[in-house]
Structure 1
Amino acid sequence: MERLQAFKFELMPNGEQQRKMRQFAGACRFVYNKALALQKETHAAGGKFINYVAMAKHLTVWRGSNDTPWLKDAPVHTSQQALKDLERAFVNFFQKRADFPRFKRKGMGDSFRYPDAKQIKVDSENGRICVPKLGWLRYRNSRVPLGEVRRATISLRAGKWFVSVLTKRDVEQPIAQGSSVGIDVGIARFATLSDGTFIAPLASFKKHEQRLAKYQRRMSRKVKFSNNWKKAKAHVQRIHARIADARQDFLHKAPHTISKNHAMVAVEDLKVSNMSKSASGTVDAPGRNVRQKSGLNKAILDQGWGEFRRQLEYKTTWNGGYFVAIAPRNTSRTCPCCGHISADNRKTQAQFKCVACGHEANADHVGAINILAAGHAVLACGGMARSGHPTKQEPTEATTQLIA
């Protein structure tokens, strides 16, 4: 099977290379914003959406204009990739997967991408990479990128430059190991497994919240855009990066352990964006329990449920297992013993007690058991299952053995 994998390294550029990278990122941001403004103007005038091919012709005019001669200093491929990013953003908006594209600001996601593998040279033995108009860049050689290089993305984050190298390689189809498991995510317990074990939450933001607020207050007392303000802002950015790094490390290790030890993984198909919406309401119709809902939203987003599911899905596929996403309806209200469904079965967040048969257990554990049962039903009926194996309308021999 073919595997695409990205390897990310911290760059160690010199002063001239840093200046050029900021210039290239600024050129991509300018092209993106100018193309977005042109799309808005065309739409306001009653015109049709401008696709990438037509927009690339505008890019040629902008690069040859006397008003923007500095666009020629940046590689043309990186500017073209900015136009492709904008087109993808519009496609996501048209298909109702994202909001309307917004203009990019300086310092927010500064990056540029080299799409042509022929322009990229990686010397992993000496820890350096060569890209057009930047030459050889040294990076922290933490591991060897495996496979054939496809493209490279250079980005700025918290004052540090990073390169992400996407590679492609052929690997043998792995054989899944272990049993089936259902997973219920929550606040008090990050993930509860159907076998009774659970993973404690990391709560990365909560651990650094007071320290972050302290340095944010210091930054607010500085004169905006002064040297001291810039130093304080850099400190705040480093804290944010530390929070994100700790969360990302946790969200990589937990799914890796689960997918390595289980042949089938079933989780709820949660809509995290809907669950974390604000309850403030409007002036005419104000919301209720706004402060409590705000705290719940913060806790949900701090857990990283969406990223946890994404990591779990592709890692399960890499290990040859089956990943099943089921509807979350009544998973925490159904008794696993008698099948009775009632909201009264779960009067508290932590305890489950069936009003029909009297079965008592931890609520998250009950939810995980019901999720596993629903996952088995999906595989048995040939429903929507995401895995590294083809699915059929009738269960295959391997699926039958797995369910048994």
Structure 2
Amino acid sequence: MQRLQAFKYELMPTGDQERDMRRFAGSCRFVFNKALALQKARFEAGNKKLGYAGLCKLLTGWRNGPETPWLRDAPAHPLQQTLKDLERAYTNFFAKRASFPRFKKKGQSDSFRYPDPKQIKLDQPNSRLFLPKLGWLRYRNSRDVLGVVKNVTVSQSGGKWYVAIQTEREVEQPVPQGDAVGIDMGIARFATLSDGMVYAPLNSFKKHEQRLARYQRAMSRKQKFSNNWKRAKARIARIHARIGNARRDYLHKTTTTISQNHAMVCIEDLQVRNMVRSAAGTTETPGKHVRAKSGLNKSILDQGWFEFRRQLNYKVHWRGGWLIVVPPQNTSRTCPRCGHVSADNRQTQARFACVDCGFKENADLVGAINILARGHRVAACGEPVQLGRLVKQEPAEASTQNIA
């Protein structure tokens, strides 16, 4: 079977190379915003939107025109890939898979992609990479790149530049190892497995919250866009990068362990976006318990449940297993012994006691057992049972986040 995988490394560019990368990322951002503004204007005028081929013709005119001749300094392929990203964003919007494309901001979307492997040279023994109009760049070679290089994405985060090398290689059909397991996600316990294993929460944001707030207050007292303001902003960006790196590292280690030891993994189909909606309400109908709900939302987002599910999906697939997603309704209110469903069964946040048969156990463990039972029903029937569904297994996409 074929495996798509991305290997991410920190770049060590020279001063000239770093300036060029900022310019290239700025050119891609300019092309994206210009094309998006054109598409919105055509939509408001009642005209049909331009496709990728039509935008590429306009791009040639922008590069050769008198208004933006500096676009010729950037490589052509990354600019074309930016237009392809915009076309994909429109497709996802009309398919109701994402919101409407938004304009990119400087410092938040600093990246560009080289899609042609013929223009890329990888020298692993010397820890360097050749990219068009950038030359040879050194990188921190923490592990070997496996497979044939398909594309390369250069991105900036927290003041540092990174390269993600996507490869394709043929691997043997894996044989799944281990048995089936159900996973209940939570806040007090990050993940509780039906076999009794518990993963404690990392709470990466909570650990840095006070220091981050102190630096944000300091930045707010500085003159906007001054040198001191820019230094304070860079310091805050480094803290956010540290929070994200710690969270991703923890999620990768957890999902790798689970996928290696279990052939079938059952998880809840949690709609995180709906769960973290604000309870503030409106002026006419103000919400209730707003402060408590805000703290709960912050704790939920700090866990990274969606990223956990995303990583678990492709890692289980890589090892030949199944990932089954089941509905979360009443998983912690159903007695696994007698099947009685009642809100009274959940006496406290952490304790389960069935009012019918008297069965007592930890509520998170009961939820994991019920999730596993629902997953077995989905697998046995071969079709959705009680809204349960099998996740379509696909290779990991070309993303800088798909790191094994």
TM-score normalised by the chain length of structure 1: 0.94
Q: Where does residue 379 of structure 2 map in the other structure?
A: 379
2:15 alignment partner in structure 1? 15
Summarize the alignment of residues 80-99 of structure 1 with structure 2, pairs less than 5 Å apart: 80-99=80-99
1:186 maps to what in 2?
186
Q: Which residue pairs with 1:60 in the alignment?
A: 60
Query: Which amino acid letter does the alignment assign opposite residue 89 of structure 1?
Result: A
CA distance in 1, matches of 2:79, 2:268: 40
CA drift of 1:387 comes to: 6.9
Aligned partner letter, 1:224? K
Could you tell me how far apart the structure 1 residues matched to 2:240 and 2:42 are? 39
Contact 1:320–1:388 (8 Å) recurs in 2:
no
Structure 2 residue aligned with 1:400: none
Task: Judge conservation of contact 1:3–1:169 (CA < 8 Å) in 2.
Answer: yes
State the one-letter code of the partner of 1:163.
V
Note the C-alpha offset of 1:216: 1.2
Equivalent position of 1:135 in the other structure: 135
Worse-matched range after superposition: 197-206 or 213-222:
213-222
Q: Distance in 1 between matches of 2:393 and 2:15?
A: 45
Q: Is the 8 A contact 1:321 1:387 kept in 2?
A: no
Structure 1 Cα separation of the partners of residues 88 and 347 of structure 2: 45
SS of corresponding position for 1:11: strand
For residues 314 and 298 of structure 2, the distance between their equivalents in structure 1, rounded to whole angstroms, comes to 26
- Letter of the 1:209 counterpart: E
Structure-2 separation of matches of 1:146 and 1:235: 35
Amino acid at match of 1:136: W
Q: State the partner residue of 2:2.
A: 2
Offset at 1:271?
0.7
Moved more, 172-181 or 120-129: 172-181
Measured in 1, the distance between the counterparts of 2:286 and 2:100 equals: 26
Counterpart CA distance in 2 for 1:8 and 1:151 is: 12
The CA distance in 1 between the partners of 2:333 and 2:246, in whole Å, is: 33
Task: Give the equivalent residue in structure 2 for 1:305.
Answer: 305
Q: 1:37 to 1:387 in 2, by over 3 A?
A: closer
Show CA shifts across 1:285-321 (max 9, x none): 2211111111010000000000001111111111111
Matched residue, 2:206: 206
Partner of 1:392: none
Instruction: Using CA pairs under 8 Å that are at least 6 residues apart, name the structure with larger relative contact order, 1 or 2.
Output: 2
Code of the aligned partner of 1:345: N
Shift of 1:49: 2.0
Q: Which runs of 4+ in 1 moved over 4 A?
A: none
Q: Distance in 1 between matches of 2:374 and 2:303?
A: 24
Give the corresponding residue for 1:363.
363
CA positional deviation for 1:348: 2.0
SS at 2:12's partner residue? coil
Q: Counterparts of 1:275 and 1:354 in 2: how far apart (Å)? A: 26
Q: Aligned partners of 1:141, 1:33: CA distance in 2, in Å?
A: 34
Q: Does 1:46 align with 2:46?
A: yes
- Contact 1:278/1:294 (8 A) holds in 2: yes
Q: Tell me by how many angstroms 1:331 deviates.
A: 1.0
Letter in 2 for 1:159: G
Deviation string, structure 1 residues 165-201 (Cα, Å, up to 9, x no partner): 0000001111111111000000000000001121000
Shift of 1:282: 1.6
| Aligned-pair CA distance for 1:344 | 1.6
Q: How does 1:3-402 map to 2 (within 5 A)?
A: 3-383=3-383, 384-386=389-391
Whole-angstrom CA distance in 1 between matches of 2:392 and 2:108: 35
Please tell me the residue identity of whatever aligns with 1:247: R
- SS of the aligned residue for 2:361 comes to strand
| TM-score (norm: length of structure 2) | 0.94
In the alignment, structure 2 segments of 5+ residues that lack a partner are 384-388, 395-404
Q: Per-residue CA shift, 1:211-264, capped at 9, x if unaligned?
A: 111111111121111111111111111111111000000000001101111111
What is the CA-CA distance between 1:206 and the residue it aligns to?
A: 0.3
Determine the C-alpha separation between the residues in 2 that align with 1:126 and 1:33.
38
The offset of 1:145, in angstroms, is 0.5
Q: Return the alpha-carbon distance in structure 2 between the equivalents of residues 160 and 50 of structure 1.
A: 35
Q: Secondary structure at the match of 1:355?
A: coil
Give the CA deviation at 1:388: 6.0
In structure 2, C-alpha distance between the alignment counterparts of 1:29 and 1:342, rounded to whole Å: 53
Question: After superposition, what is the alpha-carbon deviation per residue over 1:31-78, rounded to whole angstroms, capped at 9, x for unaligned?
Answer: 000000001100110111221111111111111110000011111111
Task: Output the CA distance in 2 between the equivalents of 1:95 and 1:352.
Answer: 41
